[in-house]
C-alpha cells in the first residue's frame, strides 16, 4: 500500500481501555525495532509491557487522558495520546497558557512509512484547535542522530527547550495553531 492509498483508508477514532493491548503490542514492537537498529537508550531493552509501570501507564493513557487510534482496514496501526500538559515525571515546565500535549505517538512498525504518525499529529492539531487552544507541544528523545526531533520538525513543530531526565536527553517542541 502506498502512502496516498493509506491516507485514503486511514480512520482515526477516539480510543479507550479496549485499545490498551494493541497499544502495548505496538510499544513492544517499537522497542524490539529500536534495539535491532542499535538504539537501546531511547526506551531501553525490556519490552514496554514488561517495564515497571508500563502496563499501568498505557491504562492511564486510555482512561485518564485523551487517546486516538488510527485504523487501516479495521486494524489498529497507530495511537496518539493528548493531555493538558507534560507528564509530572518529566522535568518540563507547563507552558503558562492553555496547551495540549502529545504524551504518546506510536505506529505499527509493519505499516511504517505510510504517514500514520503524521496523520495522527494532524488530527491532534485539529482537536487542539477545536478545543480553542493554540499551542500543541510534545517532548521526545533527542539522542542518536536527532532523527525523532527532525521528524517532529517536519510535522510543523519547532524546538523550544532541551532537557535531561537522568541521562536521557530530551527535546520539547511546540506548534502554534493560531
All structural domains of the chain with their residue ranges: 3-138
Q: What pLDDT score does 6 carry?
A: 58
Q: What pLDDT score does 45 carry?
A: 77
Q: What pLDDT score does 7 carry?
A: 61
Q: Looking at the predicted structure, is the pLDDT value of residue 32 above 90?
A: no
The rounded distance, in Å, linking the Cα atoms of 19 and 58 is 9
Q: What is the pTM of this model?
A: 0.90
- How much of the chain, in percent, has pLDDT values that exceed 70? 96
Residue range 3-138 in CATH 1.20.1280.50: no
Closest CA to 48 of 109, 122, 91, 113: 109
Closest CA to 175 of 155, 146, 147: 155
Closest CA to 59 of 81, 76, 44, 89: 81
* Average pLDDT of the segment spanning 165-178: 90
Q: Looking at the predicted structure, is the pLDDT value of residue 114 above 60?
A: yes
Cell of residue 172, nine digits: 520539547
Q: What pLDDT score does 148 carry?
A: 92
Q: What pLDDT score does 83 carry?
A: 95
Between the alpha carbon of residue 60 and those of residues 88, 115, 137, the distances in Å are: 13, 26, 19
Q: What pLDDT score does 3 carry?
A: 54
Reported as a single tens digit per residue, the pLDDT across 56-100 is: 999 999 999 999 999 999 999 999 999 999 988 888 888 999 999
Amino acid at each position: 500500500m502506498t502512502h496516498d492509498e493509506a491516507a485514503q483508508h486511514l480512520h482515526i477514532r477516539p480510543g479507550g481501555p479496549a485499545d490498551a493491548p494493541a497499544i502495548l503490542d505496538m510499544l513492544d514492537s517499537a522497542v524490539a525495532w529500536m534495539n535491532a537498529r542499535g538504539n537501546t537508550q531511547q526506551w531501553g531493552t525490556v519490552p514496554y509491557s514488561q517495564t515497571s509501570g508500563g502496563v499501568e501507564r498505557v491504562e492511564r493513557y486510555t482512561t485518564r487522558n485523551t487517546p486516538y487510534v488510527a485504523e487501516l482496514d479495521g486494524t489498529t496501526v497507530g495511537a496518539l495520546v493528548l493531555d493538558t500538559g507534560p507528564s509530572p515525571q518529566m522535568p518540563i515546565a507547563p507552558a503558562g497558557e492553555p496547551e495540549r500535549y502529545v504524551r504518546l505517538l506510536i505506529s505499527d512498525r509493519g505499516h511504517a512509512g505510510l504517514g500514520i504518525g503524521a496523520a495522527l499529529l494532524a488530527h491532534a492539531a485539529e482537536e487542539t484547535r477545536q478545543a480553542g487552544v493554540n499551542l500543541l507541544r510534545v517532548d521526545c528523545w533527542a539522542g542518536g542522530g536527532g532523527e525523532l526531533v527532525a521528524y517532529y520538525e517536519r510535522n510543523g513543530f519547532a524546538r523550544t527547550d532541551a532537557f535531561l531526565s537522568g541521562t536521557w536527553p530530551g527535546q520539547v517542541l511546540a506548534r502554534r495553531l493560531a
